[in-house]
């Protein structure tokens, strides 16, 4: 069982930056996969980024590649999503998600059993 708590959302203007945090607790394994998803009003939840807890190359949705960075602080059991050059279309509730690794790159939300409560990001001019 893994518990996740997000923070760091807020309202910003286009072009601004935000950093989201996700504090993890419980049975964390070094081979786990951590991910960020987001859900805009009236839309389905979509994949944003993922990485393996032990390291390795992160994986990003095309819509955020080059602007967002997923990282983690193992000492704090915390996952971060650094979001730069924010756009209006980045407005959404952002969720941290967690799964045990099976060697695959999972971008389907259904494959993640553990979720945080979400933190809202509003990009508005």
pLDDT 10s digits, 20-63: 999 999 988 888 999 999 999 999 999 999 999 887 889 999 99
**Whole-angstrom distance between the N-terminal and C-terminal Cα of the chain?**
40
Would you state the structure tokens that stand for residue 40, as one six-digit string? 């805009």
Longest dimension (CA), the chain: 42
Model confidence at 69: pLDDT above 90: yes
Among 80, 99, 88, residue whose Cα is nearest residue 19: 80
Is the pLDDT at 90 greater than 90? The verdict is yes
Residue 27 DSSP class: S
Mean pLDDT value across residues 85-101: 97
Model confidence over 95-122: pLDDT tens digits?
999 999 888 889 999 999 999 999 999 9
Contact present, 63 and 92 (Cβ < 8 Å):
no
Question: In angstroms, rounded to a whole number, what is the distance separating the alpha carbons of residues 30 and 77?
Answer: 11
- pLDDT of 67 reads 98
Query: Can you give 67-83 as a three-state secondary structure string?
Result: CEEEEEECCCCEEEEEE
102 secondary structure, DSSP code: -
* 8 pLDDT above the threshold of 90: yes
For residue 18, pLDDT beyond 90: yes
- Nearest residue to 31 (alpha-carbon basis) of 45, 51, 49: 51
Can you give the pLDDT at residue 12? Answer: 98
- Does residue 7 register a pLDDT over 90? yes
């Amino acid at each position: 069982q893994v518990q996740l708590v997000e923070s760091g959302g807020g309202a910003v203007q286009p072009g601004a930056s935000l950093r989201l945090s996700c504090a993890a607790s419980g049975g964390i394994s070094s081979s786990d996969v951590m991910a960020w998803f987001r859900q805009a009003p009236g839309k389905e939840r979509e994949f944003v980024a993922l990485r393996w807890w032990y390291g390795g190359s992160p994986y990003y949705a095309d819509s955020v590649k080059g602007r967002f960075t997923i990282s983690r602080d193992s000492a704090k059991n915390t996952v971060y999503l650094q979001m730069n050059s924010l756009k209006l279309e980045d407005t959404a509730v952002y969720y941290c998600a967690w799964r045990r690794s099976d060697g695959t790159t999972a971008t389907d939300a259904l494959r993640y059993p553990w979720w945080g409560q979400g933190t809202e990001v509003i990009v508005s001019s």
